[in-house]
């Protein structure tokens, strides 16, 4: 009897274990991450605006392995190499193993990150593989390439500034100020000769023009000429919504721990009428610099994003290595920029 009972218990235990084995579902066993098979690492690309709709490159990769059959979603991500994927941009998501972004899309991302056209920049790509939110994302190793973007021209609203200093020509595109936020508030820098008279026009004609009858900072349609008695680079501000305007004669300098006089005194920039830029060539130490007007901190420009575009009161600009530099300040555009060239 005891023997029969033991046989029965053994039979029952086999049934229980058999049932448990049947209840086990797919086991997550992450194996290989996706790997790029194309394009070639460290390749160089020079982009042209005429090719904006053409393919940048064909990206292909191997499949991610999860230990069970799964519908994997692959996202191609891009970032500047210096960012180390802190701010990646998704170029697209597919369930396949290939994706082809356009030249225009790659270019717009690089320019939006503050990189200038015509200069090579290191860019990296990676694949993010996902199955569902409960399973960790698998990333490929990054693929680094060098890309030279083209300059994407943004047409900002303009206000023309014709006057005696440039032949009273409202069609002259070199003497305009811009509304960088397209909000009816215009700003720009214009170099004027001694005893200049000028006006503002909306568009390259005299159809709609503004002067200042009372010389009180208020604009009037077909009003009197505005005067700028002394020669210099004038900061012009116009609010076309409230019809108010301001002008300020400026001289610009470079200041900072990198300059010969440190933070105590400016190094004067020289205005080049041919290129409409401010320039200086000098020796700089490793440290920091900023631009400021009229030897005062009331108007100063720094670079918050380290992207060569300038902001009022922005961050100090780092100078990494000592040497002789050509420094250029560009105030003849909607977004103020600068260029540092080590000689």
* pLDDT value for 5: 44
The per-residue pLDDT for range 216-275, each reduced to its tens digit, is: 999 999 999 999 999 999 999 999 999 999 999 999 999 999 999 999 999 999 999 999
What is the rounded average pLDDT for all residues in the chain?
90
Tell me the pTM.
0.63
* pLDDT value for 152: 73
What is the distance between the alpha carbons of residues 124 and 39, in angstroms, rounded to a whole number? Answer: 12
The per-residue pLDDT for range 67-111, each reduced to its tens digit, is: 777 789 999 999 999 989 988 888 998 999 999 999 999 998 898
The per-residue pLDDT for range 191-218, each reduced to its tens digit, is: 999 999 999 999 999 999 999 999 999 9
187 pLDDT higher than 50: yes
Domain 252-342 has CATH 2.60.40.3620: yes
Domain 36-148, CATH: 2.60.40
Lowest mean pLDDT among 5-9, 97-101, 111-115: 5-9
Would you say the CATH fold of 158-249 matches that of 36-148?
yes
What is the distance between the alpha carbons of residues 36 and 58, in angstroms, rounded to a whole number? Answer: 11
310 pLDDT higher than 60: yes
CA distances from 277 to 6, 13, 45, 336 (A): 99, 89, 30, 11
Phi-psi domain of 14 (left: phi exceeds 0; alpha: psi -120 through 50; beta: other): alpha
CA distances from 67 to 62, 134, 143, 186, 210 (A): 15, 15, 25, 61, 73
Q: Higher model confidence: residue 285 or residue 24? A: 285
The per-residue pLDDT for range 127-175, each reduced to its tens digit, is: 999 988 788 899 999 999 999 999 877 788 999 999 999 999 999 999 9
CA distances from 121 to 84, 108, 157, 195, 218 (A): 14, 13, 30, 46, 46
325 pLDDT higher than 50: yes
Residue 207's contacts (CB-CB under 8 Å, 6 or more residues apart) are 201
Query: In terms of DSSP H, where are the helices of the chain?
Result: 2-23, 103-112
Residue 187 pairs with which residues in a beta bridge? 178, 237
Our measurement of the distance from residue 191's CA atom to the centroid of its chain's CA atoms, rounded to an integer in Å, reads 28
Q: What is the DSSP letter of 257?
A: T
Do the bridges between strand 226-228 and strand 196-198 make them parallel or antiparallel, or are there none, so unpaired? antiparallel
* pLDDT value for 1: 45
Q: How many helices (H) and strands (E) does the chain have?
A: 2, 29
What is the distance between the alpha carbons of residues 173 and 262, in angstroms, rounded to a whole number? Answer: 38
What are the backbone dihedrals phi and psi of residue 247, each rounded to the nearest 5 degrees, phi first? -140, 145
* pLDDT value for 132: 82
Residue 150's contacts (CB-CB under 8 Å, 6 or more residues apart) are 47, 48, 49, 107, 117, 118
* pLDDT value for 28: 52
> Contact 260/269 with Cβ under 8 angstroms?
no
What are the extents of the domains in the chain? Answer: 36-148, 158-249, 252-342
Residue 64's contacts (CB-CB under 8 Å, 6 or more residues apart) are 32, 33, 34, 72, 74, 129, 138
CA distances from 114 to 23, 89, 111, 241, 303 (A): 55, 14, 5, 30, 11
* pLDDT value for 255: 98
The per-residue pLDDT for range 11-50, each reduced to its tens digit, is: 444 444 444 444 444 555 566 899 999 999 999 999 999 9
Q: What is the CB-side half-sphere exposure of residue 200 using CA atoms within 13 A?
A: 27
Top CATH class, 158-249 = mainly beta
What is the distance between the alpha carbons of residues 220 and 13, in angstroms, rounded to a whole number? Answer: 99
């Amino acid at each position: 009897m005891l023997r029969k009972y033991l046989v029965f218990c053994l039979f029952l235990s086999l049934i229980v274990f058999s049932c448990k084995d049947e209840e086990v579902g797919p086991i997550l066993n992450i194996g290989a991450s996706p790997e790029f098979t194309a394009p070639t690492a460290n390749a160089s690309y020079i982009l042209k605006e005429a090719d904006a709709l053409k393919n940048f490159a064909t990206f292909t990769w191997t499949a991610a392995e999860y230990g069970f059959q799964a519908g994997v979603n692959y996202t191609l991500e891009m970032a500047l190499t210096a960012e180390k994927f802190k701010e990646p941009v998704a170029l697209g998501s597919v369930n396949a193993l290939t994706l082809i972004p356009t030249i225009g899309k790659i270019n717009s991302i690089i320019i939006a990150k503050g990189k200038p056209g015509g200069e090579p920049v290191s860019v990296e790509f990676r694949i993010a593989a996902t199955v569902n939110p409960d399973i960790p994302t698998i990333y490929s190793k990054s693929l680094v390439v060098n890309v030279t973007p083209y300059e994407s021209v943004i047409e900002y609203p303009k206000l023309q500034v014709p006057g005696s200093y440039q032949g009273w020509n409202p069609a002259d595109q070199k003497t305009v100020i811009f509304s960088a936020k397209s909000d009816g508030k215009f700003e720009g820098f214009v170099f004027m000769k001694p005893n200049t008279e000028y006006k503002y026009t909306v568009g390259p004609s005299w159809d709609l023009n503004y002067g200042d009858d009372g010389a009180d900072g208020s604009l009037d349609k077909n009003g009197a000429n505005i005067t700028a008695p002394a020669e210099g680079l004038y900061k012009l501000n116009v609010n076309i919504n409230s019809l108010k305007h301001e002008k300020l004669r400026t001289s610009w300098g470079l200041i900072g721990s990198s300059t010969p006089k440190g933070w105590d005194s400016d190094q004067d920039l020289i205005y080049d009428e041919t290129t409409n830029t401010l320039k200086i060539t000098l020796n700089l130490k490793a440290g920091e610099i900023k631009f400021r007007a009229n030897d005062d901190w009331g108007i100063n420009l720094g670079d918050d994003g380290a992207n060569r575009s300038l902001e009022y009161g922005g961050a100090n600009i780092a100078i990494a290595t000592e040497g002789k530099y050509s420094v250029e300040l560009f105030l003849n555009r909607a977004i103020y920029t600068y260029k540092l060239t080590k000689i």
